[in-house]
C-alpha cells in the first residue's frame, strides 16, 4: 500500500509541477493562469492536452514545439520531475500528517519561486502572501496558537536580520546585493523554523550558491544570480532533515 501512495503522490507532483511552471511564468507578468489556455510562447499555438502531459510530452516532442520547432525551456520538465520526486519523498518521510502537508507547501513555494526568480529575477508579493497565510493556517493546527505566535516573532527576527545583511552587502559592494523578495522569504522561513535554523538557512543557502556563482562568473562573466532558490533549497534541506536546534548545539559542544 505504501508504494501505491508513493506512486500516486509522484504522479500528483508531476501534474502540480506543470502548474507551478505556469504560475512562475505568468504571475510576474500579471497574466491569467486559470481561464487562459496554455500556448507556445513562441508561436502562440494553443496546446492540446496530449502536448501538456508532464515530462512525457517533452520527451516525445524532443524538447521542441510541434509547430514552430522552437525549443521548450528545459526548466519545465525538470520542475515537473523534481516536484513529482519530492512529493513522493515527502510522503515516504512524513506519511499522512500535518508535517507532510507543510512539506508539500514548502515544495510548492520552492518550485514557483525557482521558475519566477530564474526567469524574471522576481519573487511576486502575491506568491509570498499566499504562502504566508498557508503556513500560518497549517501551523495553527500543527503547533497551536501560542507556538504560531512565536513563529511570527521568529519570522520578524529573520526578516530584520536579512535586511541588515542586505544593508551591509549594499555598503560593501556599492550596489544592490539582495532583492526585496529574498528578505521577505526569511519571514516565511521563520513561520516554520526556529531562530537558529532560520539563521543557518541564510548561511547554508549562501554556501550552496557560492560555487555556482563562481562557475557562472568564470564561464559567462555573469555576476548576478537569483538568490531566492538557493535560500529555499537550504530551507527544504533543513526541514526534510528533521534536524533540531538541540542537535546542532550538541554537535558544537554547547
Q: Tell me, what's the pLDDT at 146? A: 96
**63 lies in some domain:** no
List the chain residues with pLDDT less than 70: 35, 220-223
pLDDT of residue 60: 87
pLDDT of res. 17: 96
In 10 A of CB 82, how many CB atoms? 19
Of all helices (H) and strands (E), which one includes residue 173? helix 145-173
Residue 174's pLDDT is 76
SS3 184: helix
List, as one string, the DSSP characters of 72-102.
Answer: PPTHHHHHHHHHHHHHHHHHHHH-SSHHHHH
**159 domain-assigned:** yes
Residue 46 φ then ψ, to 5°: -70, 125
Query: Does residue 227 belong to any structural domain of this protein?
Result: yes
Judge whether 136 and 44 are in contact, CB under 8 Å.
Answer: no
Q: Give the domain extent around 182.
A: 143-254
Q: Looking at the domain assignment, is residue 113 inside a domain?
A: no
Q: How many domains does the chain have?
A: 1
CA nearest neighbour of 25 among 127, 104, 107, 105: 127
Amino acid 35: pLDDT:
62
Is residue 229 situated within a structural domain? Answer: yes
Residue 217 falls within a domain, yes or no?
yes
SS3 content of the chain, % helix, strand, coil (to 5): 75, 0, 25
Kindly state whether residue 55 falls inside one of the protein's structural domains. Answer: no
For residue 148, tell me if it sits in a domain: yes
Amino acid at each position: 500500500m505504501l508504494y501505491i501512495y508513493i506512486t500516486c503522490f509522484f504522479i500528483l507532483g508531476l501534474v502540480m509541477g506543470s502548474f507551478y511552471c505556469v504560475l512562475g511564468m505568468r504571475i510576474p507578468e500579471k497574466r491569467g493562469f486559470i481561464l487562459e489556455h496554455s500556448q507556445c510562447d513562441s508561436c502562440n499555438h494553443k496546446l492540446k492536452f496530449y502536448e501538456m502531459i508532464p515530462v512525457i510530452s517533452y520527451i516525445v516532442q524532443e524538447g521542441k514545439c510541434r509547430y514552430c520547432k522552437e525549443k521548450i525551456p528545459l526548466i519545465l520538465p525538470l520542475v515537473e520531475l523534481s516536484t513529482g520526486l519530492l512529493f513522493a519523498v515527502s510522503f515516504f518521510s512524513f506519511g499522512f500528517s500535518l508535517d507532510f502537508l507543510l512539506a508539500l507547501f514548502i515544495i510548492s513555494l520552492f518550485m514557483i519561486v525557482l521558475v519566477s526568480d530564474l526567469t524574471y529575477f522576481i519573487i511576486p508579493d502575491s506568491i509570498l502572501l499566499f504562502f504566508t497565510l498557508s503556513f500560518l493556517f497549517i501551523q495553527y493546527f500543527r503547533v497551536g496558537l501560542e507556538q504560531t505566535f512565536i513563529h511570527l516573532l521568529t519570522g520578524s527576527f529573520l526578516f530584520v536580520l536579512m535586511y541588515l545583511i542586505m544593508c551591509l552587502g549594499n555598503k560593501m559592494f556599492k550596489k544592490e546585493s539582495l532583492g526585496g523578495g529574498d528578505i521577505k522569504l526569511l519571514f516565511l522561513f521563520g513561520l516554520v523554523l526556529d531562530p537558529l535554523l532560520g539563521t543557518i538557512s541564510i548561511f547554508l543557502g549562501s554556501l550552496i550558491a557560492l560555487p555556482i556563482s563562481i562557475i557562472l562568473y568564470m564561464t559567462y562573466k555573469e555576476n548576478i544570480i537569483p538568490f531566492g532558490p538557493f535560500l529555499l533549497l537550504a530551507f527544504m534541506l533543513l526541514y526534510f532533515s528533521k534536524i533540531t536546534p538541540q542537535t546542532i548545539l550538541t554537535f558544537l559542544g554547547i
